[in-house]
Structure 1
Amino acid sequence: MELRQLRLFMEVAKQKSITKAAENMHLSQPALSKSIIALEEELGMTLIIRTNKTSDLTDTGKVVLEYAQKMNALQDEMKTTLNDMTNLTRGQINIGLPPFIGSLFFPRVMAKFHHAYPNIELNITEYGGARVVKSVEEGEFELGVAVLPLDEQQFDIYPIVEEEMKLLVYKNHRLASRKEVEIEDLTDEEFIFYHDEFALNQMMRDHFIAAGFEPKILFKSSQWDLMSEMVAANLGITILPQSICNRVFTKDIKIIDLRPAIMWRLAVLTKKDRYLSIAGKTFIDFILKEPL
């Protein structure tokens, strides 16, 4: 069994398609299929269910994927440790960012970081917050950014942002003239909500349930601009962080304070007990000093 075989298998699992995985890995489809078959023969188990449209993992395939991810993370950690020990001037950081957060805060910060440290390469992947957390735990990312609270027993946490969530309603909505709205007043409203993989989804659900109701969700989106445009079209209401509200430029939307206030707290996270590269430490130090 070779690590390259496991990387190819991981890519197939990620893409759920041998064809797409082969394209991403710059291999012919027969060559990739041959590698996966060889891995299956060596293990004596079927790892992938092949159909015309997709390539799904078997139960044994899921177990192999879990170990392949750990082995790949260990190899990356070994390379990083050796690079740091040899005092290389170059570095590389794999970062997981939720789309909301990435578009709001990071373009300017990353531009400044690149100017300050031009030889450190930032590899950024956008996932929903919950998936970012899981990917840091599994070793896919050296560090990520996610919404607090997080498990402090599993992760080292570096808070970077704290701001209020705001209610957005159409200009003629029954609540539009109010300066403040109690969460309980939203019981009968239809919401434009965040996709399930977003940490904001569960965070806001928890607040609604604590207030005694389950939100009526009309649409789900991963794009804050689309969510605000839906509000402007009088399709429903939504709740977004202050930083996003500051980018909503339309007279068709009223932005209202929520009571009690709901705070949106962001933090950089790294997995506890995992080696953190010099490049990673440098980035964390930089972002903690740089106002977002």
Structure 2
Amino acid sequence: MELRELNYITAIGKTRHMSHAANELYISQPALYKSLRKIESEFGTPLFYRKGNELLPTDTGQIVLEKAGEISILISQMNDAVAATKNLKQGKVNIGFPSIIGTMFLPTLLIEFQKKYPDISLHTVEAGGNALAGMVISGDIDMAIIMRPVFSELLNEIPLIRDQVTAGVLPSHPLSRRSYVTIKDFDNLPFITFDKTFNMRAQLMELFRTEKFRPNIAFEGASCQFLFELTTLSDGILILPRPIIEFYAHDSMITLPFKPSFQWELSLIFQKNTFLSTASKALINHIQEYFFRV
């Protein structure tokens, strides 16, 4: 049965007259009668019987009318949901980010977004960059903010921030009088940095391999606050992106750039050649606008 024919049955059941139903449907009475007979032939049983001047539903007809009402409600709900999604009244987006990015940038960004689109549901996932890229590729999350570069042809990438990885030391440290450091300075010199779940760590290890010596990692971890406290208590050297060191150090630590420069860049990633919901597009636009301001 077609949806149009379901509307015919509903109109007959509501008006209880063939002529009244035909007028309501803007079709001729013979055409409506012909359609009713076709539908009853498909079911193999009458849907209405005549009682006086009225057409009343048979037992089968009553079941069809009840189900038609349920279908009508579902279609109305579907249309409302589609309209709401198109107008950004509702939707759901899953976004991932490393914990430090969440701490530094995401609270304000996400609160602003929810105030702008209060009925869009946001679900967040915290993990390292490599893990997040895999989640985006598999479709477990819609998008993520991670450190560049992104080594996958399956992902779109929108650059958000460009800065540097630096060495952070306390004013009492011998390196504090330097204006910059090089990778060679860390030959047998212990330092503190991210663990293996971070893209920055992988790029740092590649620099050591290029110089053909083994790094001396005193401590490593995923918590920036933990790494900063270790550096402060040990008067050691912290290798992290400059904005992160400055966020936690609050001017108590000196940052020394690497020479040549060790770039730190953040990107927003999402799948190539895939459908993006209206809510996802709205969040992508909001993220770009936010990082343009900061």
**TM-score, scaled to structure 1:** 0.67
1:245-256 equivalences in 2 (<5 Å): 245-249=245-249, 253-256=253-256
* Aligned-pair CA distance for 1:87: 4.2
> Secondary structure at 1:185's aligned position in 2?
helix
Counterpart of 2:122 in structure 1 is 122
- Take 1:149 and 1:92, find their aligned partners in 2: how far apart are those partners? 27
Distance 1:145-1:175 versus aligned 2 partners, 3 A rule: same
Superposed CA offset, 1:199-254 (max 9, x none): 12102111222233221112111111211111111263221112112223467633
Paired residues of 1:169 and 1:238 also in contact (CA < 8 A): yes
SS at match of 1:228: helix
Root mean square deviation, CA, Å: 2.2
* Farther off after superposition, 86-95 or 135-144: 86-95
Aligned to 1:29: none
Quick one: distance in 1 between partners of 2:152 and 2:80?
Answer: 28
Instruction: Give the counterpart letter for 1:103 in structure 2.
Output: T
Unaligned runs of 5+ in 2: 1-78
The match for 2:107 is 107
1:184 paired with 2:180, answer: no
Which residue of structure 2 lines up, in the alignment, with residue 209 of structure 1? 209
Counting only pairs closer than 5 Å after superposition, residues 1-292 of structure 1 correspond to structure 2 as 85-88=82-85, 89-151=89-151, 153-234=153-234, 236-249=236-249, 253-290=253-290, 291-292=293-294
* Residues 1:165 and 1:99: Cα distance change in structure 2 (over 3 Å): same
Question: Displacement of 1:268 after TM fit?
Answer: 0.7
Identity %: 25
One-letter amino acid of the structure 2 residue matched with residue 225 of structure 1 = Q
Larger deviation: 247-256 or 196-205?
247-256
Alpha carbons of structure 1 residues 83 and 249: separation in structure 2 relative to 1, 3 Å: farther
SS of the aligned residue for 1:283 comes to helix
Higher gyration radius (CA): 2
Helix, strand or coil at the partner of 2:239: strand
In structure 1, what is the Cα distance between the partners aligned to 2:250 and 2:226? 13
- Return the offset for 1:102: 1.1
Cα pair distance change 1:84/1:258, threshold 3 Å = farther
In the alignment, what sits opposite 2:12?
none
Measured after TM superposition, the shift of residue 86 of structure 1 is 4.9
The answer to which structure has the higher helix fraction is 2
* Alignment size in residue pairs: 212
Q: Distance in 2 between matches of 1:222 and 1:192?
A: 11
Q: How far apart, CA to CA, are the structure 2 residues paired with 1:238 and 1:176?
A: 12
**d(CA) in 1 for partners of 2:140 and 2:247?**
32
Determine helix, strand or coil for the equivalent of 1:141: coil
AA matched with 2:260: P
Q: Where in structure 1 are there 5+ consecutive unaligned residues?
A: 1-81
Q: What displacement does 1:161 show?
A: 0.9
Once residues 282 and 240 of structure 2 are traced to their aligned partners in structure 1, the CA distance between those partners, rounded to angstroms, is 31
With 126-135 and 171-180 compared, the bigger mean Cα shift is at 171-180
In structure 2, do the counterparts of structure 1 residues 250 and 136 end up closer, same or farther at CA, with 3 Å as the change threshold? closer
CA distance in 1, matches of 2:261, 2:137: 31
